Amino acid sequence: MTQPVAVQFTETDLARVAEAEGRVAAFITPDGKMDAGARRVNKLTKGALARMTEAPGFARKKPGDVVTLAWPAGMAAEAVDIVCLPRNAGAEDLRKAGAALGKAKGKAPLLVLAGPLRKPAELVQAAVLRAYEFDVHKTRDAGDDADDTAPGPLTVMCGKPDEAEAAARPGLAVAEGVFLTRDLVNEPANVLTTTEFARRIQGLEALGVEVEILEEDALEKLGMGALLAVGQGSDSPSKVAVMQWRHGEKDAAPLALIGKGVVFDTGGISLKPAASMEEMTMDMGGAGVVTGVMHALAARKARANVVGLVGLVENMPSARAYRPGDVVTSMKGDTVEVINTDAEGRLVLADVLWYAQQRFKPAAMVDLATLTGAMIIALGHEKAGAFANDDGLCRAFLKAADDTGEGAWQLPMGDAYDELLKSQIADMKNVGGRSAGSITAAQFLARFVTDDTPWIHLDIAGVARTGTETTLAPKGATGWGVRALDRLVADGYETG
């Protein structure tokens, strides 16, 4: 896993500012007030910060904006990052500021003069998240920004370093989970096969997560005909991975997280066009988020019962591949007429959702999937689509998403949409036509959810990976959902 930059907390000692190598960050309020750290930088630079606040451009700065002073005279640092932040900045502004610092940091060491921040945790997590770089496949001389020197640490200088560190620790554990998700999503499909994915999931055992890998013979015995049909054209064997973290109230029903793990989606016999097909390495994004959340919960030792189940398959055309027109039988027993082999994610999820309910009787269930291109048409890359059979659970999730700055928006469901899935020859078809494509996909899943299981489906097709950078991530995998789901657990499923 890509390692987050090392973070250390230390007692305020402004005598160290002049000699600090790399970058130094100081804070200034929108009305130009400086704390002791900023005043020290101002003094060392012979009033550069004061001059900046007097310049006309400063009035246009927004909370969280950063102005960089390069190669400041009077200091050893290569740059000073001056962060414009009000005294009682909210989480969103702290994240924005942290992200700007994390992006500017690159591989340089960064000293944050965090004296005026009451709670640096949010800013620190954001800096760490934005400093992510997926460079495992760059050899030293190949890329323009390839550089295999280890990144310098992030040092937070503040009043009560022990307290600040304790408060930041859970957020840093969650950042590790986000990095795991991003690595999985960024990884190409020749590396991240179903077998390699399962191996990486087994890595969670080191944190105390119980992991089981169900192989094809076991899936056949369980009757997972829908999931197995999708994977049958591939040389990579289909698998279901089960992760269990049970450190909540004894015997309390768990929260179940289910993920679509299509390691590559060619579309199968209903082959996708060539343009952008390479993006389908991210079609395991749902499974990536589930794995990242399990890592986060274990790394921060959450007192909760959570199980994660992911269906790992590859959707390939071949002589053995399933075809349009095939009728497959799901574990539930319902039959599905396959109209389009590219609508494969729902077939995978149908069996994993059913298995999760049969085996764990979860208190609630959340599935995540890069399920439909239509989701990107509807909400773009800003927000994931949420679909639910339970308003309370959905509200709780949307709040967790909002609190962590991860956008989500609820879309409707209903019988009229479900009707579109009627088949002439089987219990249902796997596509409902062009209209409301994301909703009919959700309706398909709903057929595999029992009425007494509160459930949300998150279609993350637009947010799992983006072609431009986001606040907290460079271009590529975002890790969307790890922080929101971690927060959902913290707010609603933890004891004590």
Catalytic residue positions, numbered: 272, 346
Query: Do strands 7-11 and 154-158 pair parallel, antiparallel, or not at all (unpaired)?
Result: parallel
Q: How many residues make contact with Mn ion (CB under 5 A)?
A: 3
Q: CA 137 to CA 31: how far, in whole Å?
A: 46
The site string for Zn ion over 261-280 (x = CB under 5 A, - otherwise) reads -x--x---------------
Q: How many residues make contact with ligand BES (CB under 6 A)?
A: 15
Of residues 74 and 373, the one with the C-beta less far from ligand BES:
373
Q: CA 306 to CA 50: how far, in whole Å?
A: 52
Residues 52-64 as b/e (b if ≥16 CB within 10 A, e otherwise) read bbeeeebeebebb
> In angstroms, what is the minimal distance from the CB of 411 to Zn ion?
19
The site string for Mn ion over 94-113 (x = CB under 5 A, - otherwise) reads --------------------
In the list 133, 187, 314, 344, the residue contacting ligand BES (rule: CB under 6 A) is 344
Q: How far is CA 484 from the centre of its chain?
A: 8
Of residues 38 and 262, the one with the C-beta less far from Mn ion:
262
Determine the interface stretch with Mn ion among 184-192, 193-201, 213-221, 336-344 (rule: CB under 5 A).
336-344
Amino acid of residue 243: M
| Residue 220 host element (H or E) | helix 216-222
The neighbour count for residue 246, using CB atoms within 10 Å, is: 16
> In angstroms, what is the minimal distance from the CB of 77 to ligand BES?
42
Beta bridge mates, 26: 82
Among the listed residues 123, 487, 126, the one whose alpha carbon sits nearest the alpha carbon of residue 293: 487
Planar angle of CA 210, 215, 219, nearest 5 degrees: 105
Q: CA 390 to CA 72: how far, in whole Å?
A: 56
283 binds Zn ion (CB under 5 A): yes
In the list 83, 293, 374, 439, the residue contacting ligand BES (rule: CB under 6 A) is 374
Of residues 258 and 489, the one with the C-beta less far from Mn ion:
258
In the list 342, 351, 406, 486, the residue contacting ligand BES (rule: CB under 6 A) is 342
> In angstroms, what is the minimal distance from the CB of 95 to Mn ion?
33
Of residues 105 and 260, the one with the C-beta less far from Zn ion:
260
Following DSSP, what letter does each residue of 438-451 receive, concatenated?
A: HHHHHHHHHTTS-T
In the list 37, 109, 345, 479, the residue contacting Zn ion (rule: CB under 5 A) is 345
> In angstroms, what is the minimal distance from the CB of 216 to ligand BES?
21
Burial class (CB in 10 A: 0-12, 13-18, 19+), 108: middle
Amino acid of residue 135: D
> In angstroms, what is the minimal distance from the CB of 100 to Mn ion?
37
Backbone angles phi, psi at 455, to 5 degrees: -145, 140
Of residues 47 and 373, the one with the C-beta less far from ligand BES:
373
Contact 364, 393 (CB under 8 A): yes
Amino acid of residue 312: L
418 binds ligand BES (CB under 6 A): no
Q: CA 376 to CA 382: how far, in whole Å?
A: 9
Backbone angles phi, psi at 347, to 5 degrees: -70, -40
In the list 342, 367, 406, 459, the residue contacting Mn ion (rule: CB under 5 A) is 342
| Helix 482-492 vs helix 391-403: crossing angle, to nearest 10 | 120
In the list 208, 373, 392, 412, the residue contacting ligand BES (rule: CB under 6 A) is 373
- How many residues are recorded in the chain? 496
> In angstroms, what is the minimal distance from the CB of 62 to ligand BES?
32
Among the listed residues 167, 149, 147, the one whose alpha carbon sits nearest the alpha carbon of residue 158: 167
Determine the interface stretch with ligand BES among 21-29, 70-78, 157-165, 343-351 (rule: CB under 6 A).
343-351
314 binds Mn ion (CB under 5 A): no
Two structure tokens written together for 85:
């932040």
Of residues 155 and 193, the one with the C-beta less far from Zn ion:
193
Touching Mn ion, residues 252-311 (CB under 5 A): 265
> In angstroms, what is the minimal distance from the CB of 283 to Mn ion?
7
Of residues 112 and 420, the one with the C-beta less far from ligand BES:
420
Determine the interface stretch with ligand BES among 71-79, 168-176, 200-208, 340-348 (rule: CB under 6 A).
340-348
Instruction: Report the first-to-last Cα separation within the chain, whole angstroms.
Output: 31
The site string for ligand BES over 264-293 (x = CB under 6 A, - otherwise) reads -x-----------------x----------
Which residues contact Zn ion by CB under 5 A? 262, 265, 283, 345
Which residues contact ligand BES by CB under 6 A? 265, 283, 340, 342-345, 370-374, 431, 437, 461
Which residues contact Mn ion by CB under 5 A? 265, 342, 344
